[in-house]
Every structure is written in structure tokens, then in C-alpha cells.
């Protein structure tokens, strides 16, 4: 068996949580492989909306093993809160949730460091979620960090104190006052560590590889998006992990040749939270309409998301670096209200030439998007589950994208609920 990977092709918040939840019944294992509580994955069913930050989105389906992999940075305080919020659903989390001992721990001082670094950057701040992600990955790579497995060590408190003393010295250097908040956070942290000890803390690479060897199906759930990848995103306005398909290999301990399908999730337009280049961003009334119609406010921080038209050069880049095998288009319903819908097909560079490629540094190089316009379908998609019942204008939009991207769009999402989905998985694709 192979591991299928599901990930975001834009700047995050594409709707990964919804689709993991939809596809979960096909899998026996669902595993997060990177990121941490900077993620906010929304699932909606039976009239209830759930937002998950660190727990894999397979958690609501019984009989699925959910794994928090070694590539994740885990905040025990958020972990405890998430589990407590799930208590009313009677899920068997002790049996169904597995946490890699090799996952890195986010300490309270990591979040403070995040804030100190951001403050020191002034206008050029990244717009981090301030969940301590960057500083925790920094300590991992510097070989200073604590890992989940350390909580089982009798020397945990000692190891913790050593690292926190080093963090305090950095915070002092940045004149960042931590005295008011740290004592309470530390109390919460140690309570959460105690809480975490009751869960299955495991060598999850064995669980995943044993599952594959036993013929079980595994889905790797990405967080963030490809354009936030530490290597290929719009550096430095990125997150600190490998958000692309390759990250599933290092973040779970599976060989690259074990990767099967790669589901690339994208919105029918673009959004971005935080700072950094966004070529198709709409700073006008149209952008505001998209934000309101799509309820584009962050699931983790509540910040308004920047909005713009779909960007094909960026999407093609994300498809290339991830080896996407099928596409899933989200939030198509948000475009119902637009008479004209645009897609950016190229960038015009400063010298007037056109390109389909992302320049080395979008921060420094001004690109002007070149658009193709489509007539909107201007009707509700509610209740449509069959592609044959889709308005002609939307069919033209989908067909154009499939030709440009050279991949099938197998699902089209038309609303936040589990049920609001058009499946096109039948082998005969559009026009065939
Ligand atoms: P994720 O981080 O990729 O899991 O995405 P988020 O949960 O942060 O953001 C996606 C938002 O869009 C959530 O509020 C979802 O409930 C919502 N959503 C998902 N699919 C659709 C859709 O097809 N249409 C609409 N209108 N909303 C959707
Ligand atoms: P999901 O998994 C959207 C953005 C932040 C900021 C940058 C760095 O829900 O799609 P960090 O906290 O990692 O230091 O922030 O990355 N960011 C996200 N944007 N969705 C996310 O996750 C994000 N996680 C981080 O807004 O610009
Ligand atoms: Mg999100």
C-alpha cells in the first residue's frame, strides 16, 4: 500500500480539513506530518463546525488511527484544550490518537520568542500566528529542542529549565518582558504535560510502516500551503516547515517511493493571511466582496484574509513541486455572486515580457498579473451533487483549468458542510 498525501496548493486555508474529513472513511490511518497549532482546519457536519489545530481531521470517524507525526511541533497546552473540547463527542481518543515521541515540543517561551522576533521586525514582520512555530523548529534544527518522548524522562523538568533559561536570555536581549505571563503559562504547560502522558506516545514511523505492510490505507494531512513552504514559499514570508509532499516523507518516516496519490487542494480564488507578496490581491471592493462572501477570517487567529483572483503561475508551481495527481477545487460557491470571474494566466515583468514562472523573489520583483475573463454563472449551486447539473459557465471554468493544469479536478466543493460536494471521480472526465 501507499500513503496518499493531501495538501494545500496556495497560502493555506484552502479547505484541507473538510476534504480530509470527507475522504477519511477510505482510510484506516490519518496522519499530520508538519506544522502545529498555526493550522486551523475546519470540518462541518450535522450543523456543527469544528476547528482542529493539531489533532488530525480523521478524528471524528471511528476506527481510524490518527497520528501526530514526528514532523509536527506540538503545543501541549493547545493539545489539552483541543482534547477537552472534543470530550462531549465521546470519541475514543485514548485508543485512536497516537503522538510521535519524535515530535518537537512548543514551550511557552517559544510563543514569546515569536512575539519578540516579530516586534523587532517592525513593518517587515511576517504576520506569524505567534504560536511559537518558528522558534520551536529553530530549536529542533539547532539540536536544542525538547521532544514529546522527553516528557517520559525523569529529567524532563531539568531539560526544560535549561532550554527556558536560554530563551530568557534571548528575550532579555530583545527587551521583551515575560514576567507577567510566563508563570501562568508554565503552570498550564506542566499540567498539559501531565495530561499528555496518558496518551499513546509512540514511535509513529513503525505504526505507519506496519500499517502499510499490513495493507492498510494511510492519508497524510498537510497543514499550511505550498506557497508558505520554508524552501519554495515567498521567503521570508513563509512558515518554518516543509509543507510540500516531500514533507510527508520526513515528517512521518516513510520512503518517497511509498507516496501514492497526491491530492492538491485549492480555492477557486486565492487568500493569504499575514504579510508577503500576493500578485493577484484585490485591494478594492471586489476583494472585500470575496472576503465577506467566503467568510475569509482566519480559523486560528480570526484575522481577515487578504483575497484575490486565482493565480495560475503560482498554482502550476505548487503542482510541480508536489507531484500532484488530482486536484480538488474549493469554495466555488463564493464566486456565485460575480458577473465576471478572472484567472491570472501569466505575470508581466518590469521589462514588459510575459512569464508563467514565479520569479526568484516575488518580494523584490514587481509582477503584474495578466488575466483571462470568464462569464460568471450567477446562480446558487446549492443541492447540486452531480456535475451534469452544473451551470455551463462553471463547466467552462473547470474545463479551462483542467486543460491549463493538465490534471483532473475530481471534487468541487460548494459549501462548508461535508455534504456540499460535487464528485467527478468517474473515469470519464469532462469532455471525454
Ligand atoms: P484549512 O486550513 O485548509 O483546513 O481551511 P480552513 O478551515 O482554515 O478554511 C476554510 C474555510 O472555508 C472554513 O471556514 C470552511 O468551513 C470553509 N469551507 C470549506 N469548503 C468550503 C466551500 O466549498 N464553500 C464555502 N463557502 N466554504 C467552505
Ligand atoms: P492551515 O493549516 C494560513 C501563515 C501566517 C503567516 C505565516 C507564518 O490552517 O492552512 P507561522 O505562525 O507559521 O509563523 O506564520 O504563515 N500561516 C497560515 N496561513 N493557514 C495556515 O494553516 C497557516 N499557518 C501559518 O499567517 O503569514
Ligand atoms: Mg486553516
Q: In angstroms, what is the span from residue 273 Cα to ligand 2's centroid? A: 7
Cα–Cα distance, 252 to 65 (Å, whole number): 14
Q: What is the pLDDT of residue 364?
A: 80
Residue 50 known to be catalytic: no
Torsion angles phi and psi, residue 337, rounded to 5:
-90, 0
Catalytic residue among 4, 13, 75, 229: 13
Residue 41 known to be catalytic: yes
The 10s digit of each residue's pLDDT in 363-416 is 788 899 999 999 999 999 999 999 999 999 999 999 999 999 999 999 999 999
Residues with Cβ within 8 Å of residue 380, at least 6 apart in sequence: 333, 336
Residues with Cβ within 8 Å of residue 241, at least 6 apart in sequence: 34, 35, 71, 73, 133, 137, 223, 224, 229, 230, 247, 251
Contact 380, 415 (CB under 8 A): no
For residue 144, is pLDDT > 80? yes
Catalytic residue among 4, 21, 41, 50: 41
Ligand nearest to the CA of 272: 2
Q: What is the pLDDT of residue 426?
A: 59
Q: What is the pLDDT of residue 386?
A: 94
Q: What is the pLDDT of residue 166?
A: 98
Contact 413 CB / ligand 1 (< 6 Å): yes
Count of helix runs (H) and strand runs (E) in the chain? 12, 20
Residues with Cβ within 8 Å of residue 147, at least 6 apart in sequence: 101, 102, 103, 104, 105
Residue whose CA lies nearest to ligand 2 atom number 20: 12
To test the pocket of ligand 1, the residue of 18, 222, 383 to mutate (highest count of ligand atoms within 8 Å of its CB) is 18
Residue 361: pLDDT band (50, 70, 90) is confident
The three three-digit cell numbers of residue 431, written as one number: 469532455
Q: What is the pLDDT of residue 298?
A: 84
The 10s digit of each residue's pLDDT in 16-56 is 999 999 999 999 999 999 999 999 999 999 999 999 999 99
DSSP string, 125-144: ------SSHHHHHHHHHTT-
Q: What is the pLDDT of residue 111?
A: 98
The 10s digit of each residue's pLDDT in 219-259 is 999 999 999 999 999 999 999 999 999 999 999 999 999 99
Cα–Cα distance, 413 to 197 (Å, whole number): 39
Q: In angstroms, what is the span from residue 294 Cα to ligand 1's centroid? A: 8
For residue 428, is pLDDT > 50? no
> Please, what sign has the CA dihedral across residues 235, 240, 243, 245?
positive
To test the pocket of ligand 1, the residue of 37, 42, 46 to mutate (highest count of ligand atoms within 8 Å of its CB) is 42
For residue 310, is pLDDT > 60? yes
Amino acid at each position: 500500500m501507499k500513503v496518499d498525501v493531501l495538501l494545500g496548493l496556495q497560502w493555506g486555508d484552502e479547505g484541507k480539513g473538510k476534504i480530509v474529513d470527507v475522504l477519511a472513511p477510505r482510510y484506516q490511518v490519518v496522519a499530520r506530518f508538519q506544522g502545529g497549532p498555526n493550522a486551523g482546519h475546519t470540518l462541518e457536519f450535522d450543523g456543527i463546525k469544528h476547528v482542529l489545530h493539531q489533532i488530525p481531521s480523521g478524528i471524528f470517524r471511528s476506527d481510524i488511527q490518527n497520528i501526530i507525526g514526528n514532523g509536527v511541533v506540538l503545543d501541549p497546552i493547545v493539545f489539552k484544550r483541543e482534547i477537552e473540547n472534543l470530550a462531549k463527542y465521546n470519541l475514543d481518543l485514548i485508543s485512536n490518537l497516537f503522538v510521535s515521541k519524535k515530535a518537537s515540543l512548543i514551550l511557552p517561551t517559544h510563543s514569546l520568542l515569536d512575539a519578540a522576533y516579530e516586534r523587532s521586525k517592525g513593518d517587515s514582520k511576517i504576520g506569524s500566528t505567534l504560536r511559537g512555530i518558528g522558534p520551536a523548529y529553530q530549536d529542533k534544527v539547532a539540536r536544542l529542542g525538547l521532544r514529546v518522548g522527553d516528557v517520559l524522562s525523569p529529567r524532563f523538568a531539568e531539560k526544560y529549565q535549561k532550554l527556558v533559561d536560554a530563551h530568557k536570555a534571548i528575550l532579555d536581549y530583545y527587551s521583551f518582558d515575560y514576567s507577567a505571563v510566563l508563570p501562568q503559562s508554565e503552570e498550564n504547560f506542566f499540567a498539559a504535560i501531565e495530561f499528555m502522558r496518558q496518551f499513546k506516545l509512540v514511535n509513529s514511523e513503525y505504526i505507519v510502516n506496519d500499517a502499510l505492510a499490513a495493507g492498510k490505507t494511510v492519508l497524510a494531512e498537510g497543514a499550511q500551503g505550498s506557497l508558505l513552504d520554508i524552501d519554495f514559499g515567498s521567503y521570508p514570508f513563509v512558515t518554518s516547515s516543509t509543507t510540500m509532499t516531500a514533507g510527508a516523507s520526513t515528517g512521518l518516516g516513510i520512503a518517497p517511493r511509498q507516496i501514492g496519490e497526491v491530492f492538491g487542494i485549492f480555492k477557486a480564488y486565492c487568500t493569504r493571511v499575514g504579510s508577503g507578496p500576493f500578485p493577484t490581491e484585490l485591494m478594492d471592493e471586489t476583494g472585500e466582496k470575496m472576503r465577506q462572501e467566503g467568510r475569509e477570517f482566519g480559523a486560528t487567529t480570526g484575522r481577515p484574509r487578504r483575497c484575490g483572483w486565482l493565480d495560475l503561475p503560482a498554482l502550476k508551481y505548487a503542482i510541480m513541486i508536489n507531484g500532484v495527481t488530482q486536484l480538488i477545487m474549493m469554495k466555488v460557491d463564493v464566486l456565485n455572486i460575480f458577473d465576471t470571474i478572472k484567472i491570472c494566466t501569466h505575470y508581466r515583468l518590469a521589462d514588459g515580457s510575459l512569464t508563467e514562472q514565479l520569479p526568484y523573489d516575488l518580494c523584490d520583483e514587481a509582477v503584474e498579473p495578466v488575466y483571462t475573463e470568464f462569464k460568471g454563472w450567477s446562480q446558487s449551486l446549492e443541492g447540486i451533487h452531480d456535475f451534469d447539473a452544473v451551470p455551463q459557465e462553471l463547466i467552462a471554468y473547470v474545463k479551462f483549468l483542467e486543460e491549463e493544469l493538465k490534471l483532473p479536478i475530481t471534487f468541487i466543493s460548494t459549501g462548508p458542510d461535508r455534504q456540499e460536494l460535487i464528485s467527478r471521480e468517474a473515469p470519464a472526465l469532462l469532455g471525454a
